[in-house]
């Protein structure tokens, strides 16, 4: 029986590349998404990967959504916490709402997804959790006090949970992508992207979603059973944590 993988934010951007790569590697994959029905349906049509709509910032919605996935595909063996949003603003202009939304999705969402799945993984003695953090959780980023705080929080969460899961066959790792050519990054003002960000990337280009997806495929494999609590940086040399 092939293992079941659930990818949050899995119908677009890095998440879509991860879902596609996991399917290609032989897993049964489900993709969660929050809002864009049209993109999600197109993704399902193109890939054959089932999509499930719920908001990871709600614990109840996660419990309900995970139950739907498990009823269709079986217990979740592999969880990829990829869903994330930006609400960029210089701190003096940042609103409490921008703070709450980003922490709610990017940090609390990781708790909300992992907590309902954790007991089953412990009982079965196997699990793979990969948290998609960010270079900006490692180094901080102007205009992203909210996002940097959430993504740094994801790294602390990863390291704590890795210790708890180790004796139960569960690995918990993080990937810190740098600037990847997705809608999220392309929403950065063009002048800022071209004059400030790309010149800081030694390989001289944005990353590709598939370059992150390949890291996930490795971390969830049986071959990676001795790797837990670690962070893979995939950032074109922009920052060495
Ligand atoms: N690096 C270096 N300098 C930056 C910068 C960055 N990432 N972002 C902004 N600046 C600079 C601007 O060039 C500008 O400098 P000058 O005054 O010398 O021209 C100054 O900071 C102020 O910027 P703005 O004029 O754009 O100010 P604003 O108030 O209109 O907007 C902002 C501020 C919302 C932060 C906007 O600049 C912005 O969106 N910046 C990008 C922030 C960023 O890097 N976000 C990452 C999104 S991608 C992502 O999050 C994925 C991931 O994990 C990597």
Summarised one tens digit per residue, pLDDT across range 174-211 is 999 999 999 999 999 999 999 999 999 999 999 999 99
Is 188's C-beta closer than 6 angstroms to any atom of ligand 1?
Answer: yes
Going by pLDDT thresholds of 50, 70 and 90, the confidence category of residue 157 is very high
- Could you tell me which residues come within 8 angstroms of residue 191 by beta carbon, excluding any fewer than 6 positions away? none
Q: Which pLDDT does position 1 carry in this prediction?
A: 75
Say if 11 falls within a structural domain.
yes
Total structural domains within the chain: 1
Q: Which pLDDT does position 241 carry in this prediction?
A: 82
Is 86's C-beta closer than 6 angstroms to any atom of ligand 1?
Answer: yes
Is 193's C-beta closer than 6 angstroms to any atom of ligand 1?
Answer: no
The Å distance, Cα 14 to ligand 1 centre, comes to 21
Read off the tokens for 155. 């790294």
Say if 27 falls within a structural domain.
yes
CATH code of the domain in which 43 resides: 3.40.50.720
- The predicted-structure confidence for 75-126, as pLDDT tens digits, reads as follows 999 999 999 999 999 999 999 999 999 999 999 999 999 999 999 999 999 9
Say if 42 falls within a structural domain.
yes
Average pLDDT over residues 131-141: 98
Question: Taking Cα atoms as reference points, which of 148, 152, 175, 187 lies closest to residue 229?
Answer: 175
H or E stretch at 176: strand 170-177
Say if 235 falls within a structural domain.
no
Question: Taking Cα atoms as reference points, which of 222, 19, 227 lies closest to residue 126?
Answer: 222
Say if 240 falls within a structural domain.
no
What is this structure's pTM?
Answer: 0.96
Read off the tokens for 36. 């864009």
Say if 59 falls within a structural domain.
yes
Distance of CA 173 to the CA centre of its chain: 11
Pure H helices in 48-142:
59-73, 96-103, 109-124, 135-139
């Amino acid at each position: 029986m092939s293992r079941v993988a659930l990818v949050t934010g899995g119908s677009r951007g890095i998440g879509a590349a991860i879902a596609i790569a996991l399917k290609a590697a032989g897993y049964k994959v489900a993709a969660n998404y929050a809002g864009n029905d049209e993109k999600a349906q197109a993704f399902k049509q193109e890939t054959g990967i089932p999509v499930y709509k719920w908001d990871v910032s709600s614990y109840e919605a996660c419990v309900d959504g995970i139950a739907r996935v498990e009823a269709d595909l079986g217990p979740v063996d592999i969880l990829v916490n990829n869903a994330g949003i930006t609400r960029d603003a210089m701190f003096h202009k940042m609103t409490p709402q921008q703070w709450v939304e980003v922490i709610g999705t990017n940090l609390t969402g990781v708790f909300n997804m992992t907590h309902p799945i954790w007991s089953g993984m412990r009982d079965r003695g196997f699990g793979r959790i990969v948290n998609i953090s960010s270079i900006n959780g490692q180094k901080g980023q102007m205009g992203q006090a909210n996002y940097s705080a959430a993504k740094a929080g994801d790294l602390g969460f990863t390291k704590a949970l890795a210790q708890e899961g180790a004796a139960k066959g569960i690995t918990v790792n993080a990937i810190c992508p740098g600037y990847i050519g997705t809608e999220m990054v392309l929403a950065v003002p063009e002048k800022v992207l071209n004059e400030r960000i790309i010149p800081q990337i030694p390989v001289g280009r944005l990353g590709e979603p598939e370059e992150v997806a390949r890291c996930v495929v490795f971390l969830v494999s049986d071959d990676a059973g001795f790797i837990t609590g670690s962070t893979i940086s995939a950032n074109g040399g922009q920052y060495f944590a």
